[in-house]
């Protein structure tokens, strides 16, 4: 499924099932909440914390929740995520064309 299709599907859900989009400040708070839930999963599955009895540690579901909220923010602000992501990739490609090659050279010097 493409980003465009996801944006349309979520918009349809919001229009038909939800109660409209939250304002951007509310959605930012919801996004931070979802990122925190992902952090909880990561700290318990991959870090030193131990899960509580019965605690749901669904990495994939938490990532999907984050993507959902990002798409809601984009939709509410008429942002085409496909276009924005392509432009972002071009920006990073131009900006970082030699950046990591320099890092490799530094690491090689430090190993010698």
Residue 44 sits at φ, ψ, to 5 deg, of -90, -35
CATH match for 1-78 among 1.20.58.220, 1.10.287.1080, 3.40.50.2300, 1.10.287.3510: 1.10.287.1080
Report residue 89's pLDDT band, with 50, 70 and 90 as the boundaries: very high
How would you class 110 by CB atoms within 10 Å of its CB: exposed for 0-12, middle for 13-18, buried for 19 or more? exposed
Residue 61's pLDDT is 98
Contact 68, 50 (CB under 8 A): no
Show the beta-strand stretches assigned E in the chain.
none
Report residue 73 CA to chain centroid gap.
12
pLDDT tens per residue, range 45-75: 999 999 999 999 999 999 999 999 999 999 9
pLDDT tens per residue, range 7-40: 999 999 999 999 999 999 999 999 999 999 999 9
């Amino acid at each position: 499924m493409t980003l465009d299709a996801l944006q349309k599907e979520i918009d349809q859900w919001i229009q038909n099932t939800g109660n409209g989009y939250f304002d951007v400040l509310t959605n930012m708070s919801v996004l931070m909440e979802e990122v925190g839930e992902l952090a909880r999963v990561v700290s318990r599955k991959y870090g030193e914390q131990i899960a509580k009895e019965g605690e749901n540690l669904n990495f994939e579901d938490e990532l999907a929740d984050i993507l959902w909220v990002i798409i809601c923010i984009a939709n509410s602000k008429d942002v085409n995520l496909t276009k924005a992501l392509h432009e972002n990739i071009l920006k990073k490609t131009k900006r970082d064309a030699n950046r990591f090659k320099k890092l490799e050279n530094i690491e090689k010097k430090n190993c010698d």
